[in-house]
Amino acid sequence: MWIKGATVSQLRFRRLYPPASAPRGPVLWVLLRGADVLISDDRRVLHPGTSDDPGGIAVAERLLLGALEDTPVLAGGLDPEAPIPPGFQAVGLRTLLAEAEPQAASLAVYAAQLVRWQQIGRYCPSCGQPATPIEGTWGRACPSCGYSSYPPVSPAVIVLVHDGDRALLTSKPGWGKRYSLVAGFVEPGETLEECVVREVREEVGVEVSELSYVGSQPWPFPNQIMIGFLARYAGGEIAIDTAELADARWFERTALPELPPPYTISRQIIELWRRRGPAPADPRAAG
Ligand SMILES: [Zn+2]
């Protein structure tokens, strides 16, 4: 269940929603302590137990996430001040994303977001009354004003701007020599495509066209979904938004700078572009 161990990713995970409950019998637990995930000393993310006992560890919050094939998977939230149980260590989600097997990491991300939701979603954000669960979902409805809310997911676009054999990469203050992609949150009333065009214009001052969707990645810091695009440079000179960026510049495909780590969607988009070569429709490449 860790990158060097058995492969959770080969198993089918099916989500379940309240009021579903785990039958008696063996289950797997994802254990959270504050913002950290508890992994065993042999670096497992999922810990065997029963539905009412995660191996003798006291949990303040327990949630049924779903089933891995036929085995229920529960999230257990420890008291954030509780001591780390013997045989475990607490690691951040970034470490998990970097090192854990993808499905084990995504279960931990899901568990962390839902345990957090139990804390932040308790009261109606509109009128402050205690909210009650909406059956069949993780949502909560307010019996007083009727407002309903769900675990927050904030969409953000991330885009590689390319121009033949070069890509426009950006660096933020504090990143040193590392460069990544233009990224930003989707505004209300905006399409993803409009967001890509706007973010590129605002951050680096250039125009883009011919957008293509690449893929997405949940990014739980705290609750983004990063939606990845490629976009062709369509004019303008680089003019950076100095409130956000330290630098932005063109890099040749064969001379890319220090890049984000491999588990990030930004790196995966850059690698996709690097492997692909110039897009066939690119007149510069054709000519
Ligand atoms: Zn309300």
Whether 116 is covered by a domain: the verdict is yes
Query: What are the DSSP E strand ranges found in the chain?
Result: 13-15, 26-33, 36-40, 47-50, 61-68, 71-78, 88-91, 132-133, 140-141, 148-149, 154-163, 166-171, 182-185, 207-219, 224-235, 247-252
User: For residue 222, which of 114, 147, 146, 63 has the smallest C-alpha distance?
Assistant: 114
> What integer is the mean pLDDT of 194-200?
98
Q: How far is the CA of 132 from the centre of ligand 1 (A)?
A: 10
Q: Give pLDDT, residue 8.
A: 81
Q: Give pLDDT, residue 9.
A: 79
Q: 158 and 114 in one domain?
A: no
For residue 179, pLDDT beyond 50 = yes
pLDDT, one tens digit per residue, over 2-58 is 333 447 878 899 999 999 999 889 999 999 999 999 999 999 999 999 998 898 999
Q: 174 and 83 in one domain?
A: no
Average pLDDT over the chain, rounded to an integer = 93
Whether 243 is covered by a domain: the verdict is yes
For residue 190, pLDDT beyond 80 = yes
Q: How far is the CA of 154 from the centre of ligand 1 (A)?
A: 22
Which of 77, 104, 120 corresponds to the end of one domain? 120
For residue 159, pLDDT beyond 50 = yes
Whether 130 is covered by a domain: the verdict is no
Q: 99 and 159 in one domain?
A: no
> What integer is the mean pLDDT of 69-81?
95
Q: 173 and 87 in one domain?
A: no
Q: 63 and 17 in one domain?
A: yes
Q: How far is the CA of 127 from the centre of ligand 1 (A)?
A: 4
Query: How many structural domains are present in the chain?
Result: 2
Q: How far is the CA of 218 from the centre of ligand 1 (A)?
A: 29
Whether 146 is covered by a domain: the verdict is no
Q: 170 and 271 in one domain?
A: yes
Q: Give pLDDT, residue 1.
A: 40
pLDDT, one tens digit per residue, over 78-124 is 999 999 999 999 999 999 999 999 999 999 999 999 999 999 999 99
Q: 72 and 20 in one domain?
A: yes
Distance CA 115, CA 207 (A): 41
Whether 194 is covered by a domain: the verdict is yes
Q: How far is the CA of 80 from the centre of ligand 1 (A)?
A: 28
Whether 91 is covered by a domain: the verdict is yes
Q: How far is the CA of 134 from the centre of ligand 1 (A)?
A: 14
What is the span of the domain harbouring residue 272? 154-276
Residue 66: CATH number of its domain: 3.90.79
Q: Give pLDDT, residue 147.
A: 97
Which of 78, 105, 120 corresponds to the end of one domain? 120
Q: How far is the CA of 16 from the centre of ligand 1 (A)?
A: 26
